[in-house]
Structure 1
């Protein structure tokens, strides 16, 4: 059994959990994925099985598309719903035009600061390890230039901003939500995230992890 498998990851599990599930069904240890999704996030995981794992390195760097929801008027220590939330009760609600202007400013390349709770390493330590130990203030958070090729409002009803974004590999969507909130002067954190595309691979062609079994896996394998 060799090839690529498009999985629709449910919320509440890690990308590694999804890989482990595929390993059990495919009865092989040679399984990997082309891009992590946080546990609260859902959507497309491209998983390689046996010879398919050799193609994953080339897929990791592909552009990705997401649909996401940011909660304006509040911040999170992790920039997502997993952290401690602080509501800014006295902020001025931006109107649709102001939100659109803020999004427009990100439709290009910009220098993005990694979230304090992330797997980025500084001095050999992962940032989330330092943050959990109360030592995040001891290091400078790494920055990376990312490219946002599409960023459009799907719906805006205060305090929720639902948007679609296409971006370069390595972009943190929760950091983008945080930065949009800072641009608007109200703060923001990511509440929902769903990946819909990795390069040419589309979520519409993915199978839900709950539907994957020894009978269905063969018909969903993409030859490599």
Structure 2
């Protein structure tokens, strides 16, 4: 699915109705504050963000617009990547520190959410794909790191647990999210440029605003795409299962999810079951605007 070609066919109003803006969250406001700023500035009905960042954390914060808010749950579990600075309470050799990280804090780990977390504080399994020490500061206690983790992993808690494992204590000084699933710093826009783009849009120039909105159909980057014959689309809008006979061809997809299109029209996200007659069941259907 060529998202750029699909985007070119949409009006700016259609993009605002079913789109995503990848905001560069500044330090200070909460993720909700930033999401709400996006909503109010564009006079949208609602917005939602894909994964909460603490107030003092910066970086990638994808924000769904209007009907794209229904996609939030599909993006939340995607891997996240961070760059940050942690302070160890005593100096330690970088090589030794990396060895301990590789031994104790890589792969699947058990993690309990921080005390201030809004979720229930029970241990959960999380996966650490990479946790690399990049360099040590001249003071000997501050360490620059990069980490790729499963969605829902608390970096601040990861560093705190590392300090306990070392027996010397550690805490996070700075943190920036550089990737959240398919969203990274290449498509990021700061709140000032977003505000400027909207001001220009309200004055008749939508070029900048169009350039920063990602169509909601980007969800098709996560799952395989299947195409349904046009004559069956109306039935899908009523919540009907996607029958094998309604597909334009045979698809070899076993389980998981798929994105359903009819040509370049996005229908929704479906759960593949591959029974004798039913190919998939709807999880989210994008109803046509009446």
* TM over 0.5, shorter chain: yes
Could you tell me how far 1:181 is from its partner in structure 2?
1.1
CA distance in 1, matches of 2:66, 2:100: 44
Matched, 1:177 2:175: no
More RCO (CA 8 Å, sep 6+): 1
Residue 52 of structure 1 is aligned with which of 58, 64, 68? 68
Structure with greater helix percent: 2
Alignment partner of 1:67 out of 79, 83, 94: 83
Q: TM-score, normalised by structure 1?
A: 0.80
**Which residue does 1:196 correspond to in 2?**
178
SS in 2 for 1:58: helix
Deviation at 1:65, TM superposition (A): 0.4
Q: For structure 2, which runs of at least 5 residues remain unmatched after alignment? A: 1-15, 201-207, 217-290
Q: TM-score, normalised by structure 2?
A: 0.62
Please list the CA deviations of residues 96-145 of structure 1 after superposition, one character each: whole Å capped at 9, or x if unmatched.
Answer: 12111122121111111221121123xxxxxxxxxxxxxxxxxxx42111
Is 1:222 the equivalent of 2:202? no
**Out of 3, 15, 21, which is 1:5 matched to?**
21
Structure 1's consecutive aligned runs of 4 or more residues displaced over 2 angstroms after TM superposition are 215-219
SS of alignment partner, residue 70 of structure 2: helix
Cα distance per residue 1:145-200 (max 9 Å; x no partner): 11000111121232111111101111000011111111221101111110011111
Partners in 1 of 2:182 and 2:76 — Cα distance? 12
Distance 2:142 2:65 in 1: 38
Gaps of 5+ in 1: 74-90, 122-140
Residues 98 and 184, structure 1, Cα contact 8 Å, conserved in 2 = no
In structure 1, C-alpha distance between the alignment counterparts of 2:153 and 2:26, rounded to whole Å = 21
- Structure with max Cα Rg: 2
Aligned CA-pair RMSD? 1.3
User: How far off its partner does 1:217 sit?
Assistant: 3.1
Whether 2:158 is the aligned partner of 1:160: answer: no
1:28 aligns with 2:27: no
